[in-house]
Each structure stands twice: as structure tokens, then as C-alpha cells.
């Protein structure tokens, strides 16, 4: 089969070509005939033309060459008609197709002229369709050539009119209405359009800036907007943008907005770096801006009643001047010195205000000195005693002392090695990580650290605290702000399944036996098939060589013999090697069934605690909360009696069997983690309920104090006392807050923009 494919796929085509050569057909002639038969008329024309040049001039070739050129002419004419139907504007493409169609049609008729008289008479009936097509092509070509000449002539006339610089806008409008649709397809029209477009841009730009220089601002706006409407993109649009920005600069200048006027000029320069208008007016406007901003800053800073807001306005002026393009290095140094001086004045003003609030609002003193440090550390650091006093006041007001009781049910406490108090002391308290900006410092102590053990042994409920406490113990209890009562309700681990075996079946390898190798039979079949194929190929090769040698033409015989060297023995060699290397017999495993023991082992873990919170200062408690952690039916397996050669890969031993002690420890740790989270949640909640209790009556003022930018690191609850005088202190803080708001009148963005340091870099913190 493969040999047959080889002969018809490779050798036979070469033999046919060789036979064609012996009959007098050249390869070009033969390929041309094949292409014509397949309908590839362009290729047929080229090959037949080449054959004709080689001396093949028989009438059959001329007829086929004529028909090929006629088919190409028809195709080109159809392409031209399609382009005309599409839009008709692409005259260049249309004329290219028509020109080629005309050439090919004329060539088709020329080939027929070379025929003999008898052949001409026979082909006479085919001449009329070809002549009719040629006539259509000529008419279309003449029409489109005339149309192109007219359009190009019109474009050149309009270009000449624009070149006189008279009525350029009218010329542009006329060009757009008549000739512009062809500019993408006709190079001469495109060239004229670009010339007229640039002439209009130059005229409108010149007229617009002339009106601007003459302060005819309305006329200038109309001209630049017209330029923008004519040219939504490209160079014309950029010129319009430049003009409108320069116009904006002039309008702002007339309104004495010198800063905005100069910024508009800089924006125009970004559009056109070589703008003549910007080059003419920018230096003058820059000096006017510097003069105006400097005068304003000096006037505000010398005001006897100057405020932080006025100082910030002066800072804003100098910061703006520093950012301006065109400012000299000498001027930048001057502005930088002024900014340093103003920062020092801001810090001094803040310190003066802090001193006035020393007695009424220590928290605001802390905030003001923090701000002063951000503007000038050297000024603020001289107020270390004042800052220390404010920090001490705040720390004293915000600390929360929490006393934690941990008790267990009596039956749990009797378990060997069980000591809930010690467990909580070791794991619950030390790992409590409160962040550095936690609203209130938290002091946590276990009851066992401050109360006698014999007293704690008799106290089992929160009610016992009042009924069984001696006077000395009540005094210790009163020193705490709040009590946390934790009762361990359950601590249980159950294991099951150790003594309950089950039996399962599996299979294992019990021996081996000798059997036939199926791969050997496959290799044998492949080897026989390859041998037969090789023999067939050899016979076909011999037949082919015999036919080639019988040819009388030497060139054809040589060409034919060149196809015989394609026979390969690679498949036979590979099949022989595989057959020789494959064993005749192989060893096969024998599998047998057996039973093994299977234990399903698991644990159940249950941890539960009750948490109560009592506010000893306000005589208030929260609802008890149950914290629990359970592990249900966490299971593994134990296998015994498994054969080493088990086919399922089973092994003797414990697989994922839970360790009761490990699971108990994990459960205890999780319970402790949950208790930690509960303590933090209660403290955070109490932070709002206890210390901000009075402030909730006036939530609007509270929010203003808490969210004020100069108190960003100070929560409202830090500001209130834990005694009966809290309400009075709140009123003082509210009055001081109003005074401070009126004094500062700045935003967080202003602080961040003009301060020397950011909000988190102060050397003074409230951390313990």
C-alpha cells in the first residue's frame, strides 16, 4: 500500500512531466495549461507568456493565452465597478484597475491577430464579446480620468486662491464642500488640502492674537473658538487651545487674579513650548505674581492680631511661589527662609495658646504642643514641663484597672493536675496584645494576686463578693474599676473505638507464574508487516526503473530515475530490533484475598466557660456570656494484620488518629483565645459606655472633638474623669474646644501640606 502511494504521489507526476518534455511541452507551457484548467487565470497568463517567449507559438497556446488575458481583464473591470459602487471617491484605485483591464483586453485581442486565417475565422465568433468588453473599459477609463483631472484642477485653483491670503476661510469652506472627499485617495488633492488648512490656521491664529493684544477679548474668543470648531484635533486644535488659555490669562489678569493669570500662561506653554505670546508676557506676569504674593504674605504676618489662619495664608503664598516655573535660585532661597520663619511663628502661636489652656483643658494642651512640634521642634521642646503635665493628666484619667476572677466547678477543680487559676494566669493574661494606640491603658490582675487564697476558696458566685468579703478585702475590690468573673463550666475529653475491631477484606500478592508475553506477539506481527511492505516497495521500484529506462529521451529518463531513491528500510529495522528485544515469556503475579482488623478511633472535646463583667464604679453589670469550644467525632483509623504486599497500598499502624492530650490542649488554647477576644471586646465596649457616658448627651460636640484634625491620635473617651466631677470637666473641655476651633480654623490637608513633620513623628506619645 505504501509503495503504491509512493508511486502515484511522487514518481508518477515526474513521469508525466518527463513524458510532456518528450512530446515537446516546456514546464511553463504545461503549468500554464494546468493553471488555466484550474481557473487560476493570472498564473496561467504568466506561465503561458513565459512559454511563448521560449518559442512555444502554436495556435493552441495563443488561444489559451488570449483567453487568460481576457479573464484577467474581466476580473479587473469587475473590481473597478465594485470600487465605483462603494463610494466612487477612490479614483486612484479605480483607474489602476481600469488601466490594467484595458491593457489585458488589448493584449487578448493582440494574441488572436497572430493566428492563421483559418483559425481566425474559427475564432471570429469570440471576438465580439472581447471587443465589447474593451469598449466598456475604455469608456469607463476615459470618464474616470476626466473626473480625476477636473478634481485635481479644482484643488489647484483653490490652493492658488489661498496662496493670495485673501478670503482663506471662504476658500477652505468651498474646498471642504467640493473637493475634500477625494483628499484621502488623490495625492494632489491631499497636498492642496494641507496647504489650505495650514493657511487658515495661520490666519485665524494671527487674527486671534492680534485681537488679544488689542484687548478685544470677545473678538479673540470668537476667533479661537472658530479655530477649535474647524479643527477638533491636530495642529489647528492645539493652536486653539493655546489661544484660549492665553485669553483666560488676560481675563484673570484684568480681574487682578495674578496667580491664576500666570498659571494659565504656564498651561499655554505646555501646549506650545515656543508660544510667542507666552514668551512676551510670562516674565512680566511672574514678577507681578511674586510682588503681589510677597506683599500679601508680609501684610498678614505683620498683623498684630495675626492668627494661625493668617500665618497659614502666608505659608501658602510662599509655597506657591516656590512651585512656580521661572523663579530664580536666589528667589527660592528667600522664599525658603520666609517659610522657616513662618513655621516658627506658627509653633510659637500654638505654644502661647497651649499655655492659656493649661488649667482648663490639658488634653488640648497636649494636642497643641504636638502641632507646635510638627512645625518647629526647637520651639516645642522648650515646653517639656508643660507637655509632661498634660500627659500625666491624660494618663491618670484614662487608665482602667481590671480584676479577673477565675473559678471552676467543684468537680472540675478536684481533677488531678487541674488548676484553672494557674492556667489562666500563664496563658490568658500575658499574651493579651493591645495596640499602641489603644484608647485606654489596661491594667489586668488576677484575683489570686491581690486577694487571700482562703477567701477565694469560699467565693463561688458574684453574689459572694459582697456577702463574704471582710472590710479589708472590700477595700481592695474598690481599688479596681471593673471585675471580670470567669467560670470554667466544662473541660471534657472522650475517646472511643479502641477496643472495637472490625474486619475488612483486601487482596495481596501471594506468588508468581510463567505466561505468554502479549507484547512478543504484537512485535512479531509488526515485524512481518514491515518485511512485506519493504518487499512490495522494492518490486514497485524495479518496475518504475524499467519504465524510465525504456524512454528514448535522455533528459526524461534521467528525470524519471531521480524519483527511485525514496525507498527506506527504517520501519523494517525498527520492527526487527523491537522483535529481537522482546522476551517470549514473562512472570505474572498471583493475587489472593485475605482479612485484616480495622479500628475506627475518635475523640470528642468540650470546653465551656461563662464570662461576667461587673462595673464596680457605676454598680452596673453586663449580661453573662458563654464561651465554648467543641470538637465532635474527630476520627482516625488503626489497621492490624495487613499483608506487606497489599495491592491497595494498606499499611499496619495508626492513620490520622487524634491524640486526646493534643486535642485537649488545642481546645484549651482556643478557649483562652476566645476569652482574650471577649475581654478586649468588653473593654472596648466599656470604653464607650463608661468613660463617654456623659458625652453621649451631646453627641454633636463629642464628634467634633473626636474628629478634629489636631486630635487625630486622641479619642474622646480619654478626656473624661472617672469620678463625680466628670460632667464639670466635660463642660470645661467643650468651652475650650469652641475656643480652639475659632483659634485654628485650618484643615487636616493644610496641616499636612505646611508642617515640617507628619502626624506620627512627634517625640511625645501617650504610650505607657
Residue range 703-762, pLDDT digits in tens: 333 344 333 333 333 343 343 345 555 566 666 666 666 666 666 677 677 777 765 555
CA 727 and chain centroid, separation: 53
Which of the residue ranges 2-11, 83-92, 228-237 would you say has the lowest mean pLDDT?
2-11
Average pLDDT of the chain, as a whole number = 76
**Burial of 640 by CB count in 10 Å (0-12 exposed, 13-18 middle, 19+ buried)?**
exposed
Q: How far apart are CA 477 and CA 474, in angstroms?
A: 5
The pLDDT, as a whole number, for residue 485 is 81
Tell me the pLDDT band of 430, cut-offs 50, 70 and 90. Answer: very low
Give the total residue count for the chain.
768
Of residues 189, 192, 173, the one with CA closest to residue 181: 189
* DSSP SS3 for 508: strand
Q: 151 and 181 in contact (C-beta within 8 Å)?
A: no
Tens digits of residue pLDDT in 145-178: 888 888 888 888 888 888 887 888 888 888 888 8
Average pLDDT score over residue span 447-468: 74
Assigned C-alpha cell, 224: 479661537
Q: How far apart are CA 310 and CA 299, in angstroms?
A: 10
Tens digits of residue pLDDT in 48-67: 888 888 777 777 888 888 88
125 CB-near residues (< 8 Å, 6+ apart): none
Strand partners, 485: 405, 612
**Is residue 555 over pLDDT 50?**
yes
CA angle, 579 then 585 then 589, to 5°: 130
Tens digits of residue pLDDT in 207-239: 999 999 898 999 999 999 999 998 988 898 999
Q: For 487, phi and psi rounded to 5 degrees? A: -110, 120
Average pLDDT score over residue span 682-701: 43
CA 154 and chain centroid, separation: 54
CA count, 13 A, side-chain hemisphere, 482: 25
Average pLDDT score over residue span 25-30: 80
Q: How far apart are CA 459 and CA 582, in angstroms?
A: 89
Tell me the pLDDT band of 654, cut-offs 50, 70 and 90. Answer: confident
Which of the residue ranges 41-55, 259-273, 508-522 would you say has the lowest mean pLDDT?
41-55
Proportion of the chain above pLDDT 70, given as a percent = 75
Q: How far apart are CA 202 and CA 198, in angstroms?
A: 6
Q: 561 and 548 in contact (C-beta within 8 Å)?
A: yes
Strand partners, 605: 493, 631
Assigned C-alpha cell, 517: 508475553
Q: How far apart are CA 348 and CA 340, in angstroms?
A: 12
Q: 21 and 31 in contact (C-beta within 8 Å)?
A: no
- Helix 308-323 to helix 726-744 angle (10° resolution) is 40
Residue with the bigger pLDDT between 432 and 645: it is: 645
**Is residue 77 over pLDDT 80?**
yes
How many angstroms separate the Cα of 325 from the Cα of each of 265, 266, 289? 11, 8, 12
Amino acid at each position: 500500500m505504501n509503495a503504491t502511494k509512493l508511486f502515484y504521489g511522487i514518481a508518477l507526476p515526474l513521469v508525466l512531466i518527463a513524458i510532456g518534455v518528450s512530446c515537446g511541452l516546456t514546464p511553463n507551457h504545461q503549468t500554464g495549461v494546468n493553471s488555466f484548467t484550474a481557473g487560476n487565470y493570472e498564473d496561467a497568463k504568466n506561465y503561458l507568456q513565459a512559454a511563448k517567449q521560449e518559442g512555444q507559438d502554436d495556435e493552441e497556446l495563443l488561444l489559451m493565452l488570449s483567453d487568460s488575458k481576457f479573464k484577467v481583464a474581466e476580473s479587473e473591470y469587475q473590481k473597478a465597478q465594485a470600487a465605483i459602487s462603494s463610494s466612487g471617491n477612490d479614483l486612484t484605485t479605480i483607474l489602476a484597475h481600469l488601466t490594467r483591464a484595458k491593457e489585458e483586453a488589448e493584449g487578448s485581442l493582440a494574441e488572436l491577430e497572430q493566428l492563421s486565417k483559418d483559425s481566425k475565422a474559427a475564432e471570429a465568433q469570440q471576438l465580439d464579446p472581447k471587443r465589447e468588453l474593451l469598449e466598456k473599459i475604455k469608456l469607463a477609463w476615459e470618464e474616470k480620468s476626466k473626473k480625476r483631472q477636473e478634481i485635481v484642477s479644482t484643488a489647484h485653483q483653490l490652493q492658488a486662491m489661498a496662496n493670495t491670503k485673501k478670503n482663506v476661510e471662504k476658500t477652505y469652506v468651498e474646498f471642504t464642500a467640493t473637493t475634500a472627499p477625494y483628499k484621502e485617495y488623490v495625492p494632489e488633492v491631499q497636498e492642496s488640502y494641507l496647504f489650505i488648512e495650514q493657511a487658515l490656521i495661520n490666519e485665524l491664529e494671527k487674527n486671534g492674537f492680534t485681537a488679544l493684544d488689542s484687548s478685544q477679548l470677545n473678538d479673540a474668543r470668537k476667533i479661537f473658538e472658530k479655530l477649535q470648531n474647524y479643527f477638533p484635533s491636530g495642529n489647528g486644535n492645539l493652536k486653539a487651545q493655546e489661544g484660549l488659555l492665553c485669553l483666560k490669562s488676560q481675563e484673570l489678569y484684568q480681574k487682578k487674579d495674578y496667580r491664576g493669570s500666570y498659571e494659565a500662561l504656564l498651561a499655554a506653554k505646555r501646549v506650545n513650548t515656543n508660544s510667542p505670546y507666552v514668551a512676551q508676557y510670562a516674565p512680566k506676569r511672574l514678577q507681578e505674581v511674586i510682588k503681589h504674593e510677597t506683599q500679601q504674605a508680609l501684610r498678614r504676618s505683620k498683623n498684630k492680631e495675626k492668627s494661625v489662619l493668617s500665618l497659614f495664608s502666608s505659608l501658602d503664598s510662599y509655597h506657591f511661589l516656590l512651585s512656580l516655573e521661572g523663579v530664580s535660585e536666589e528667589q527660592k532661597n528667600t522664599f525658603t527662609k520666609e517659610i522657616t520663619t513662618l513655621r516658627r511663628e506658627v509653633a510659637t502661636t500654638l505654644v502661647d495658646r497651649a499655655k492659656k489652656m493649661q488649667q482648663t483643658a490639658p488634653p488640648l494642651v497636649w494636642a497643641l504642643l504636638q502641632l507646635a512640634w510638627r512645625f518647629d521642634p526647637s520651639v516645642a521642646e522648650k515646653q517639656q514641663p508643660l507637655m509632661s503635665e498634660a500627659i500625666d493628666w491624660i494618663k491618670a484619667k484614662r487608665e482602667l484597672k481590671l480584676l479577673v476572677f477565675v473559678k471552676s466547678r467543684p468537680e472540675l477543680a478536684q481533677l488531678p493536675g487541674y488548676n484553672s487559676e494557674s492556667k489562666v494566669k500563664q496563658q490568658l493574661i500575658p499574651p493579651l496584645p493591645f495596640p499602641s494606640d489603644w484608647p485606654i491603658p489596661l491594667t489586668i490582675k488576677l484575683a489570686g494576686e491581690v486577694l487571700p487564697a482562703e477567701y477565694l476558696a469560699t467565693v463561688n458566685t458574684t453574689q459572694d463578693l459582697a456577702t463574704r468579703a471582710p472590710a479589708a478585702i472590700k477595700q481592695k475590690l474598690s481599688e479596681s474599676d471593673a471585675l471580670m468573673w470567669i467560670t470554667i463550666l466544662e473541660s471534657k475529653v472522650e475517646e472511643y473505638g479502641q477496643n472495637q475491631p472490625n474486619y475488612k477484606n483486601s487482596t495481596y500478592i501471594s506468588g508468581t507464574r510463567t505466561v505468554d508475553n502479549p507484547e512478543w506477539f504484537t512485535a512479531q506481527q509488526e515485524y512481518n508487516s514491515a518485511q512485506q511492505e519493504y518487499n512490495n516497495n522494492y518490486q514497485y521500484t524495479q518496475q518504475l526503473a524499467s519504465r524510465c529506462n525504456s524512454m528514448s529521451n535522455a533528459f526524461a529518463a534521467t528525470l524519471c530515475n531521480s524519483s527511485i531513491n525514496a525507498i527506506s528500510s527504517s520501519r523494517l529495522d525498527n520492527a526487527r530490533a523491537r522483535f529481537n528485544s522482546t522476551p517470549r515469556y514473562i512472570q505474572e503475579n498471583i493475587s489472593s484475598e485475605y482479612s485484616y482488623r480495622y479500628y475506627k478511633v475518635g475523640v470528642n472535646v468540650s470546653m465551656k466557660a461563662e464570662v461576667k463583667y461587673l462595673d464596680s464604679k457605676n454598680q452596673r453589670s453586663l449580661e453573662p456570656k458563654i464561651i465554648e469550644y467543641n470538637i465532635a467525632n474527630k476520627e482516625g483509623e488503626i489497621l492490624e494484620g495487613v499483608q506487606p504486599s497489599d495491592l491497595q497500598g494498606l499499611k499496619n499502624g495508626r492513620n490520622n488518629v487524634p491524640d486526646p492530650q493534643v486535642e485537649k490542649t488545642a481546645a484549651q488554647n482556643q478557649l483562652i483565645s476566645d476569652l482574650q477576644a471577649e475581654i478586649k471586646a468588653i473593654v472596648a465596649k466599656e470604653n464607650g459606655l463608661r468613660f463617654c457616658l456623659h458625652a453621649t448627651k451631646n453627641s454633636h460636640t463629642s464628634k467634633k472633638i473626636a474628629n478634629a484634625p489636631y486630635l487625630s491620635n486622641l479619642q474622646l473617651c480619654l478626656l473624661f474623669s472617672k469620678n463625680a466631677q466628670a460632667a464639670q470637666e466635660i463642660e470645661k473641655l467643650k468651652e475650650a474646644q469652641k475656643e480652639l476651633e475659632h483659634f485654628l480654623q485650618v484643615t487636616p490637608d493644610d496641616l499636612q501640606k505646611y508642617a515640617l513633620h507628619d502626624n506620627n513623628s512627634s517625640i511625645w506619645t501617650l504610650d505607657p
